[in-house]
Chains A and B, each alone.
Chain A
């Protein structure tokens, strides 16, 4: 390839024998990675396999000198001391947790630390026009003056990409870019990457969603336990997902969803009728509109829908009115109408809501596993208001063994655990609360295939004990694999309900899209 008279090899990036040691752990062990110019390269592996560490080495987040091995970028050896060094050469990383400041506008965020300087201070005209240019490339129609907090997660992800573009990116690294996006937004993002590829940009994408990897990646490198296992060619974009999983886990996962004896009782545990919820701040905005649903004993009921369909809002408003205002409707538990005024009453009535964001809403990361486990029902290990620490540790130990949480001790801080193990602690906490109905909001988000399987097994155990489980998920395959019944929501309304046996991805997406169209037609009239 000729570019400006200088011959460049076909490999934009070669990482050779990268080794990174943390006290007591070998995070990376002689990892090799070769990325071809103008291609999309996927990095897959279980949690803790070393994907993010490798990218941190590349971007300079882990500075040169703290790792062994060499990095060749455009055939030149690089010794990045900080992220700034790598960005200068056009290597930009977008982390899983978006690094945007909610109170600042889109354009301020885009040029944060990289401000367009005029003679005196910031050149705002230049900032706006540059921002608009890049926003157009990612297909965002928002004004650059809109604040980040006023746009959804999907659009925020696009702003991050626009920000990368503004830095003149040559090699874009995306760490789990679609983990918080719904199917439609994910598809759009992936198509954009394909479009950028056509324009000559190289991308590295880290993802747990193998269907997406198969869709966009040209090459797939599998990491396991800090080592490179293999690099698979996927130029045909038709690789079998099981083929990737085999490399990731080192064994064949014959079934991604554990089998369960479907034993749904006719007894209805929870029934919600004509439920409506309004936005807590914009009180005229209806988030959940006249929704009814029920869940039987021993049943897993799925809730599908796009981002903003109102599923989380519905769940949280049912869970002791912990979200929203002007909540109306009837809630029946075991056929009896109940009013739950707060979270405490909901827990006592036998409802548990396992939050979608385990770091922000679910766990106290700075506290121990034991203390987190008993938090929702501390009184169970108390006598007369005094905590029996020994009993608490025994309870936590018990759940640790039952759920096979990987940790040396229950005195470990939750913040030190991997995502999958944190999720297990979160589940322990709510299982300890001993509810009749468990509402799981995105229970497998951002965790690897192996841990997902274990979470599914836990769910099966729960229903076989006669609990009712509600599963909110943006991943259609897992809803189809796990649920007895699936409710589909869109824009705050219930679209349809189908049995797990008759549901397919096409039917669900079709129902959502048709509903959206009808709504628009109605609005147009």
Chain B
């Protein structure tokens, strides 16, 4: 045995001052030796040595590794959003998309995964680990547990991306099925969105990483407790330490459900175990919601750590702050169902969740009041607007902005208006960008110099970074808010071409660009700091002074203030301060109670309406809607009878009762009215959902998009509510529908004159960038008359992203070649069918789907409403390289996009 074989025991009684040496396990020895060999080799390169802090202790090295990996995933996730939004803007400006629907879908899904877990969670784990070790004043141990956690987390990011084929390069077989687990998605025999098992392994690995880290943290707390048990009781610990402890409780409560949901899905997909999709979603959202609060603890901890340090005085009300930490932990795991308000869950469960969702405002109210009041009395001469202070202020404001839109989402009757819309996304991004990211940056600017031993290189770069983050982040949130208010769904590319939507999408894109550019200043400053930054020394300084000194390097010299601690003696006694805080909290509780009470009747009305039907008036139109993943089949009885694909037909003002089921994928019916109450109901496989509403009194064609995230054709699967004029009624013209804006439903297809219309299919297989296609208006004598219109599917619109041609080939233009070889004709009939209220669709004419020719449909028609185009869905399979399969993923489906309504009015 040599001296190098000996090292302090991992479980030795160091705390008792007795060093016990023993041989480490062979595996640990091997890992240590390997790491040391790699470290020495890399350390010879100055860039690596400086950037990865290779001459420092292992805890510092791993923390730095996590921060760098976090920023890398943050950058990749940022470019995912950038890539997605380029396609949204391209579509909005009627340009060709350069990404496939598969890639677009991948981008937005992986954007969320990478930002939330690869970036935010990793940074949180890094910072919280650093804070815990320093706060407890103990020597870090269990290096390889932490390494394993970090390795698993980053490996999970790769696994969640799914298989990547290098030759020919293809990363389109991403396996993300969104936030709703169910594999395979799709309808047996007609559509499928099968994910790779790698996807589920990614979730399991992510959960493993989080739980390992939790164990690593908890083990240090236990170590510390064993060493300080006698003195532990009755001590007052920093508030942030309470939140760190809370995080350790929340992690298993968050990731446990993820393991159950993902494991259940895997067993269902690969072992045939029965799965209840609705129950699985409830379990999944116990993770899906709680993780946001776990990440929200990053700015909360940041504010509780930094504001007292910057203010040079303790937190305003310690006991309230501790109560806030406890309430966060108790309430956070209980809120998942508020993501499922529009599913047929029992009304009482939705109402309780609404109540609890309002209740969690209380700990936030305590926190932000306490943080603000901690600053009351701090003179301006003692306050420095360094980057730490600036980002803390942003996290404070962002939390308030995001927090205030939360209760709207949490209100069940209001959720009908905003569910799955960009409004929800605005709330979420206010929290993530303006609170979580800002709080993370505040901590980063405070502790990076402590970690690296170097002061920030440039105060100016830090301040510019803040400015860009503020402007970019705020622009993103406000643009999303406005889009949501218009009724725009999230994760959509194929959107209505409406000026207001296009303007806000462009604004959103600009915000993303500003945000991304802004982060370059942070990266540049980080590199310059580790390579050329002045040495940072905390020698002779208290912890608070060291942090203030670190923060000071992000302030221009002229605006700096001394970093030294100042004597502080409180004048306002604790009872007075706590009385003020109690008064504030009581006020909040009263207003929240009012909000819950006022929303309760509406909440039960919505929930009960989704869970059951009944009380339908006479002359109700009964519609059995069956979800086929990318389209609906509607079977109607009542004043109108028949079966329609993607269309619900009713008379103006008629009461409509939807009875909805689905298999294979969760769908929703969303009619984003603004002049009357919207219709918004989720349909989960295995459950029946209901919706009752009065059809608009204005006849016309109303867009009804599927608001769920059930595969890459999201955005094409828009059905229509076709409202017919009441027979014999007057004043119900299509012109009035257009003039009235279709009850505010932005998804209404545009109305154009049939005779002059130019229907041209785009590369997404829809006419004139609209789903359904434009509503063609024609006028004939009362007894009928000739109607004609033209349409064209250009050869140039045919490609890998167009569902009309299924050719698996990597060759350029293989799909177009297929069309040429088949005499420019595809095997789908272009129909003209009349809606007959007595029997359903009645064929008028039918012709081949000719490609690259201007076709004319001409017929003598009676006044009435007709469907044109491919009025039945088309079978599609995405498989450009022949790599589809259970290991890679499968994407097939019945898609219906090249159709519309012909509206023939009597002169």
Do A and B come together as binding partners? no
Measured CB to CB, the residues of A under 8 A from B are: none
Measured CB to CB, the residues of B under 8 A from A are: none
